[in-house]
Amino acid sequence: MNRTQDRLLLALMLLLAVASLRCPSKATVSGQPTLPEPDFVVARDGSADYETIGDALDDAEDGSVILVKPGTYEEEVEFQDDQKNITLLGSGPDKTIIDADGEYSAVTLRGSGHRLSGFTLRGAESHGLYVPDGKHQVDYCLIVDNDDRGIYLSTLSGRGRARIDHCTIADNEVSGIYSVKDDAGTTISNCIVAFNGRGIVTDEDEGGIKITNCLVSNEREDFDRVSEGTSNITDDRYGVKPCVSCLAFSRVIFRRSCFA
């Protein structure tokens, strides 16, 4: 197994570890919720409505639900400015992979009100997920092995925001999550942000981004100009919040933790 595969497996194990937590009298992290009925289905083998995600998005109307069957999809997926409230569902990050194959980003969320759930996003020249504008929901995703940032929110002229929940953002070269604006419209919860160059970063320092119930451990700064939030664990190798059992890995030791 090469280094990239090893790190991908490690990040997936971390995501599954968080999903399996069950701590009495504490909020718990459950698995991916029941998926809504799709309007379109994508399958690489030609057994469904479309063979590529991009073709399904081209035909999607506002409010559509697109289900992507297991497989590796080598494409750069882009939502358009005039699209609203589209739900793009993978079959789980261990099964449904969007590989940018060196393109700018694996997924770009334009428009407003979209949901992205249940994918691995990898292999981008820049960002696993790029959100230049609008407010979106991103959950149950694994965002790994991208050459710049795992998630890039907003441009200098736009206002990209996201509710990021139950995601693992790991092994991205520059940073895990980067937001130009420290916007209160962005929340990060129940996530693992680890093994990136930096963790969660913004160009501002206004206390807007809310970060809760996350494991954060990176090469350099974990929280760069953002508030450290509440109920977060940073490099819990000393067992500050022990619960149940230890999970030991080659580079860092996390304990299964009871999130408040």
pLDDT-derived band at 114, boundaries 50, 70, 90: very high
Q: What's the pLDDT tens digit per position in 24-59?
A: 333 223 466 677 889 999 999 999 999 999 999 999
Q: Which residues contact 39 (CB under 8 A, 6 or more apart)?
A: 60, 64, 65, 66
Average pLDDT over residues 69-82: 97
Do the bridges between strand 87-89 and strand 115-117 make them parallel or antiparallel, or are there none, so unpaired? parallel
Task: Give dist(CA 79, CA 60) in Å, integer.
Answer: 10
pLDDT in tens, 200-223: 999 887 778 999 999 999 999 999
To the question of domain 34-235 being in CATH 2.160.20.10, the answer is yes
What pLDDT, in 10s, does the model give residues 125-178? Answer: 999 999 999 999 999 999 999 999 999 998 776 789 999 999 999 999 999 999
Whether the predicted pLDDT of 79 surpasses 70: yes
State the chain's mean pLDDT as an integer: 82
What DSSP assignment string belongs to 203-238?
Answer: S--SS-SEEES-EEE-SS-SEESS---BS-BS--TT
